[in-house]
Structure 1
Amino acid sequence: MVNTAAIVLLIGSLFLLLILRVPIAFSLGLSTLATAIYLEIPPMVVTQQMVKGVHSFSLMAIPFFILAGEIMGEGGISKRLIAFSNVIVGRLRGGLAMVNILASMFFGGISGSSVADTSSIGSIMIPMMEKQGYDKDYAINVTVTSSTQGVIIPPSHNVIIYSLAAGGLSVGRLFLGGFLPGALLGISLMVLSYIIAVKRNYPKGEKVSFKEGLKITWESLLGLFTALIIIGGVISGIFTATESAAIATVYAFIITFFVYKEIPLSRMKLILRNSLKTLAMVMAVIATSSAFGWMMAYLKVPTLVTSGLISISDNKYVILLIVNVILLFLGMIMDMAPLILITTPILLPVVTSVGMDPIQFGIVMMLNLGIGLITPPVGSTLFVGCSIGGMPIEKVAKSLMPFYIVMFIYLLLLTFVPQLTLFIPNLLMGS
């Protein structure tokens, strides 16, 4: 029997707490606890579900991903990736915008974080673009939209969270599934930025000499090898995701402090502190999201949603459109990690019932929620970009409209063309 009152209490209290600006981890935990008390479930059960949520070997990869990203971000890799991108596309009309997008693509393969990407690349590129004659809001637009590549292009710790929420999907297949979609997203944004650059007559960049280009490429590839260690180790089966992340962290440490040598070893203390703060927030969200997800399963919310959506229409395309709209809306009001943990058990049965592969749905979900990161009112990446650029979020959001349109069209392609996601995993790891 469906307990409607408990479902309303669970979801209603969550949204009420979010409206009151209570941190997401506390909102999830308190709404779950309140519902448990209403149902006369011992609070200890909620605690057990929280512990169970973080008691996973796969999650051990996340601290290493965060630490490796912090080390490379602090150690000068951002500057080198920008220089490397400039060698490739800087000479084109509006080339600095394309450099921004390409650098975000490369940096996303190291940090796996949209916010980290915007912070590292944006702090360099936004002032640089403004100085070269680009409109400030346009510079912010390019920076925040291109940073969403970081949640798709491997290695992304959000993909590992999805793998866990989906019942243990292959991390290697998910990593491979993100390659082509992430690259095509970057190309789509480059095409749009070139059109805007021609229309507004933005400047071309200066050509880089062959000798200088070789030097820049070599220094950049040393940093990019961090991502190759993680991806190659997981896909080949030599390492687990956790082992690959740990080895990559050691490599990043060596490259940053003994090859690049831009920061002193004493800076490691600050890097560890920042990594620990980020990790504490991520793990708290995962723990409370797990308890919240368990409560939804207890109340049979996933079954109700599946039945409800299928009752609306038996048309595959209609159902997938509705799922996209749901994810886009939720991405506008909640953070990414808890949404992955909460919505995956609910929506995965829906999409698989109409024939969508779980790997494809994972990448579609990443893009959906990535768009949410740059959309008001929550949009954490958009807030970071506006803070760096010193512009009000309302003005930047309005000028983002062409980028929103391109990303939404691309989202539909990703949803309805499975091979964009599945071609590389099937080619390298079998169907």
Structure 2
Amino acid sequence: MDLTAIILVVTFFALLLINVPISICIGLATLLALLMHMDFTPAATTIAQQLAGGLDSFALLAIPFFILSGLIMGQGGIAKRLIECAMALIGFLPGGLALVNVLSCMLFGAISGSAVAATSAIGSFMVPEMKKHGYSENFAAAVTATASTTGMLIPPSNILIIYAIASGGVSIAALFIAGYLPGILVGLALMTVCAVYSIKNKYPVTARLPLKIVIEKVLAAFPSLLLIFIVIGGIIGGVFTATEAGAIAVIYALILSVIVYKEISLAALPGILLKACETTAIVMLIIGASSAMSWLLSFTHIPQIVSDFFLTLSDNPIIILLLINLILILVGAFIDMTPAVLIFTPIFLPVAEQFGMSPIQFGIMIVLNLSIGLVSPPVGSVLFVSCAVAKTSLHKIIKPMIPLYIVMFLVLMLVTYVPAVSEFLPRLFGLIE
């Protein structure tokens, strides 16, 4: 292996192991590796230029808007109405509360664009409710964590915007539409496990609600669900860009939470704005640092080296794509999604394209793959949030997670080897040829 790559990898993981923030890990590792090729002053200048250049993208403006709209939605009474809607629709089925948990996380994750927010907002209500009806808190926490990751695939999704930039300009609209079917498949797979687990453990089934109440609950949640149709419909129809859609999402979320639902007071808005600024700053620093590392990888021709290495291993696409997935699963267990997408897309996308995979399909594959990392120890942020919400520990949640991991991996294999899973809807809407 090239000495530059060794220094980059060793420095990065050494800093990560001593709990240095991820953006600092990436930046320092990149700087030290670049010092192998130039003196300190030009190296530092180059890193600064690449960091700033990595943020010079109009598409990135969508991220702070979607972060802000997600925070407003999280505190605006949206979660409660989505849970009540899901309970009315499927709460009477076997394992009803677990199914409601999955569906609520899917809907809230799609609206907020944040797996952590979905875990916190939905889990804080659903986990105690499931425990009250006899479900294990460990199983409830496992379901909440895994179901929340579907929001990474079901748009609007910040990580799909980041992938679009990392891949060199793949259509955001096409990626958004491509994420629906895989996201729904993950949700259905998790629901299947929940139903089987609930029947096996004889968990109670809630009574079917009268049709009148079902309609009332659905109508109460409809304004929240309408955001998805406004954002996605506008992007597909060419009415506005993803960035403009983010701004519209903020305005809609404010109207809904402050005026319609009246769950957020005007006095609370400065705190929400401050939190949005803080989150945006963290995300943007990670993006900038990751862009600098991506430039270094390109400068040292590491993607080409990796591509040539994979091509010498085998000419069988099944083996190569499986190997890429296994590497990404390992990466996702240690590295957050944003830097992982920015760093590994330039490395693995050319390899995947050599074996006939489109950038759209690869984008959905890498996001689903890294979503599994969000709920995988030792670093999985969503897993730890879910444990905190359920007041349980990591080692207790792993056993009920195993069947959920398995079905998520099976959907990942479906996305990897069946292009239509990712490409059918974009083709249907004429977003790709």
**Uncovered stretches (5+) of structure 2, i.e. residues with no partner:** none
CA distance in 2, matches of 1:235, 1:66: 21
**How far has the Cα of 1:263 moved from its partner?**
2.6
CA distance in 2, matches of 1:114, 1:136: 19
User: 2:12: which partner in 1?
Assistant: 14
User: 1:418: which partner in 2?
Assistant: 419
CA distance in 1, matches of 2:300, 2:196: 50
Deviates more, 1:268-277 or 1:91-100: 268-277
1:128-167 Cα shifts (integer Å, max 9, x gaps): 1111111110100110010110101111000000000000
**How far has the Cα of 1:398 moved from its partner?**
2.6
User: 2:222: which partner in 1?
Assistant: 221
**How far has the Cα of 1:414 moved from its partner?**
1.2
User: 2:51: which partner in 1?
Assistant: 50
Q: Give the SS at the match of 2:35.
A: helix
1:401-423 Cα shifts (integer Å, max 9, x gaps): 11111111111111111101110
Matched, 1:106 2:104: no
CA distance in 2, matches of 1:207, 1:9: 61
TM normalised by structure 1 equals: 0.98
Residue type of the partner of 1:329? L
CA distance in 2, matches of 1:393, 1:223: 33
CA distance in 1, matches of 2:231, 2:246: 6
1:171-218 Cα shifts (integer Å, max 9, x gaps): 010001001111111111111100001000011123222222222111
User: 2:2: which partner in 1?
Assistant: 4
**How far has the Cα of 1:424 moved from its partner?**
0.5
Q: Give the SS at the match of 2:94.
A: coil
CA distance in 2, matches of 1:72, 1:394: 32
Q: Give the SS at the match of 1:400.
A: helix
Matched, 1:73 2:74: yes
**How far has the Cα of 1:301 moved from its partner?**
0.8
Residue type of the partner of 1:376? P
User: 1:130: which partner in 2?
Assistant: 131
**Uncovered stretches (5+) of structure 1, i.e. residues with no partner:** none
**How far has the Cα of 1:39 moved from its partner?**
1.7
Query: In 2, are the aligned partners of 1:376 and 1:397 still within 8 Å (CA)?
Result: no
**How far has the Cα of 1:376 moved from its partner?**
0.2
**How far has the Cα of 1:76 moved from its partner?**
0.5
User: 2:251: which partner in 1?
Assistant: 250
Match of 2:30 among 32, 43, 49: 32
**How far has the Cα of 1:278 moved from its partner?**
1.1
CA distance in 1, matches of 2:18, 2:150: 31
Query: In 2, are the aligned partners of 1:104 and 1:147 still within 8 Å (CA)?
Result: yes
User: 1:350: which partner in 2?
Assistant: 351
| RMSD over equivalenced CA pairs, Å | 1.1
TM normalised by structure 2 equals: 0.97
User: 2:211: which partner in 1?
Assistant: 210
CA distance in 1, matches of 2:62, 2:263: 27
Deviates more, 1:263-272 or 1:313-322: 263-272
1:207-232 Cα shifts (integer Å, max 9, x gaps): 22222222211121101112222111
Q: Which residues in structure 2 correspond to 1:24-423 (within 5 Å)?
A: 24-41=22-39, 42=42, 43-423=44-424
CA distance in 1, matches of 2:207, 2:31: 59
CA distance in 1, matches of 2:118, 2:107: 10
Query: In 1, are the aligned partners of 2:89 and 2:214 still within 8 Å (CA)?
Result: no
CA distance in 1, matches of 2:21, 2:207: 46
CA distance in 2, matches of 1:56, 1:409: 35
CA distance in 2, matches of 1:94, 1:73: 26
CA distance in 1, matches of 2:214, 2:259: 22
Residue type of the partner of 2:30? T
CA distance in 2, matches of 1:95, 1:22: 42
Residue type of the partner of 1:20? I
CA distance in 2, matches of 1:405, 1:296: 33
Query: In 2, are the aligned partners of 1:9 and 1:31 still within 8 Å (CA)?
Result: yes
Query: In 2, are the aligned partners of 1:306 and 1:349 still within 8 Å (CA)?
Result: yes
- Moved runs in structure 1, 4+ residues, more than 4 A? none
Query: In 1, are the aligned partners of 2:26 and 2:290 still within 8 Å (CA)?
Result: yes
Query: In 2, are the aligned partners of 1:185 and 1:410 still within 8 Å (CA)?
Result: yes
CA distance in 2, matches of 1:112, 1:318: 33
CA distance in 2, matches of 1:349, 1:393: 37
CA distance in 2, matches of 1:181, 1:274: 31
Query: In 2, are the aligned partners of 1:113 and 1:151 still within 8 Å (CA)?
Result: yes
CA distance in 1, matches of 2:328, 2:114: 19
Q: Give the SS at the match of 2:20.
A: coil
Q: How many residues align?
A: 429
